[in-house]
Structure 1
Amino acid sequence: MTDVAVSVTTAVSGTPVVLRAHGYEAAIASVGASLRSLTHEGRDLVVPFAADEVRPAFRGATLAPWPNRVVDGVYRFGGDEHRLALTEPNRGHALHGLLGWADWSIVQVDEASVTLSATVPAQVGYPWWVEVSTTYRLNADGLTQTVRATNLSDTPAPWGTGPHPYLVAGSGDLDSWTLHLPADTVLEVTPDRLAPVAVASVTVDAERFDFREPRVLGAVEIDHAYTDLIRDADGRATVTLSDPSGTGVAMTWDAGCPWVQIHTADLPAGPGTPGHRAGLAVEPMTCAPDAFNDDAYAFATGLIAVAPGESHEVGWTISAR
């Protein structure tokens, strides 16, 4: 039995859509094409926020035309230098793309899915027109989101995307959850601005970074990107969180996302701050942090150049365990 509800009244977080199928319920907000909540049999799988609440930072947002950061908001592409607005002022970077606070249009809804669209207009710092659509779909495997970008300009456009959910394993604290993160390599960053430095084996600080074998998170603080993901026979990588009670959540994606950002949701004000270590951000990404500056790095950033008139599509799935 499936059903869908769409409100005609715009909430603070945008037009709300609620999907229900296979024991899952997903609430989508049109601002940022955001995953507002996801439950299975009534259990939270992500850290939710209310429909009449300004979305806390980028929780659940769809990130485009780049995920993560462009360092200093400056990059070179096609021989030209571009300067973006610094939307992470405390670190001096351009953060999480240009559509995170856009009100996406709802273009299709059925019993278990919704498609939203938005257009990145050519502008200072990003002089390309890119049409972006995303579909959230519930099935027996969980909630799958796909993102498709089409370059409407007459020159190649730099592109990257990813989601920003904070996963919840169960009723216990994050420190008690067991993480399985099948990645051999971590991106080292500067401690103050999180600017990329170099890739290294996760054994460089195994207690903090190496979760190739499942183990309890404990008090570690992570806000790093990982790559060299260990995949199954179908080429899919899966990050799994489990609670001591036996519940859990997993996120799976294919080779379209060679990177994943992991963040233990540590907030500057620390314990007692709403949202502090409330969930684990698991953000599959088509490219590395600061990939728009691809030429500056010795490692493969995964930067995508979408040719004029061409499209790029990628997706991921969140499921209960």
Structure 2
Amino acid sequence: MKAGAVEAALAPAVGGSLAALRFAGTEILRTAPASSADPLQMASFPLVPYANRIAHGRFRFAGRDVRLPLNFGDHPHSIHGIGWTSAWHVEAVAQDSAHLTHRYDGDGGWPWAYEAQQHFTLFDDTIEMRLTLRNIGDEAMPAGLGFHPYFQADEDSSLQFQADRLWLAAADLLPVREVAADALGDWSAGAPVRGDGLIDNVYGGWNGSAIIRRGDGTRIELSASGASWFHVYRPPLSRDFCLEPVSHMPDAVNRPEGMESMEPGAEKTLSLRIAFTPADEALPQRDKIA
């Protein structure tokens, strides 16, 4: 797909993933290796019908005990849902847009039938991604959505966003304690992306906006709708990092607040807009998050 200086490539068979996103030849998201069939090597993939981890793949919902397959090697929890490991169908494609669908009949580890749709639209300096989940079964189900994009940071890249709180995680990466939002860095003022420690934590009360400023002056702005949680994944000393707008915290289905319940026929949508401003066009008055 292409619009102006923006180019994107899709990998529908690999979890309905975005395989590349470039602006004027520069990578905005990391580019997947040619012919890769691994969603973890893609530029971005969808999270559906839940985001992040469910502890030990077990939970209880509406009087039913549910056991999910452990779908991430020797990791002790189920992670990221079903969509990211499923092939998606191309419903429509144009020069600057595409529409993918993924239908699940409830015959695997997740006992509820659903249909998911992704819409991608390119503009001259923006990509818009919309993920929709619809309950096509005959009973209520828990439901969550998210996007898992991989950005790239040079030595001088910084990240800025606003949130109310941060959840610290145990060694198995499940959240265990709520602390101040600046406990791992004051992102509200802007802080360096790269570091020598692992960040794999979720922020609550996110205002739906984030800004990345690269060392070359390029500015990347995220804005999301339908996501009040923001999961930051920053491996130690890595060029790649993830900023994941999600509709719930990890393992929400096992927590007192629970995860949203969707009645039969109901829909839920999460949208992500990524806009790019090259170095020679970045304006100081746009630097502050409203």
The match for 1:211 is 187
Could you tell which deviates more after superposition, 51-60 or 107-116? 51-60
Q: Distance in 2 between matches of 1:258 and 1:184?
A: 10
Unaligned runs of 5+ in 2: 278-290
Residues 90, 136 of structure 1: alpha-carbon distance in 2 compared, 3 angstrom cutoff: same
Equivalent in 201, 210, 221 of residue 180 of structure 2: 201
The residue type equivalent to 1:209 in the other structure is: G
Which SS does the other structure have where 1:163 is aligned? strand
The residue type equivalent to 2:167 in the other structure is: L
Structure 1 residue 259 and structure 2 residue 211: aligned? Answer: no
Which SS does the other structure have where 1:212 is aligned? helix
Structure 1 residue 36 and structure 2 residue 19: aligned? Answer: yes
The residue type equivalent to 2:49 in the other structure is: P
The match for 1:221 is 198
1:62-141 map, 5 Å? 62-123=46-107, 125-141=109-125
Q: Distance in 1 between matches of 2:100 and 2:107?
A: 22
Residues 56, 134 of structure 1: alpha-carbon distance in 2 compared, 3 angstrom cutoff: closer
Equivalent in 29, 47, 52 of residue 30 of structure 2: 47
Q: How many residues align?
A: 274
The match for 2:4 is 22
State the shift of 1:65 in Å: 0.8
The match for 1:310 is 266
Q: Is the 1:257–1:314 contact (alpha carbons within 8 Å) kept by the matching residues of 2?
A: yes
Unaligned runs of 5+ in 1: 1-18, 232-236, 267-275
Which SS does the other structure have where 1:100 is aligned? helix
Q: Is the 1:168–1:248 contact (alpha carbons within 8 Å) kept by the matching residues of 2?
A: no
The match for 2:147 is 163
Q: Is the 2:33–2:41 contact (alpha carbons within 8 Å) kept by the matching residues of 1?
A: no
Equivalent in 230, 233, 252 of residue 291 of structure 1: 252
The residue type equivalent to 2:23 in the other structure is: H
Give TM-score scaled by structure 2 length.
0.89
Q: Is the 1:130–1:151 contact (alpha carbons within 8 Å) kept by the matching residues of 2?
A: yes
RMSD: 1.8
Give TM-score scaled by structure 1 length.
0.80
The match for 2:287 is none
Specify which structure has the higher proportion of strand: 2
Q: Distance in 1 between matches of 2:70 and 2:267?
A: 28
State the shift of 1:181 in Å: 2.1
State the shift of 1:89 in Å: 4.0
The residue type equivalent to 1:217 in the other structure is: V
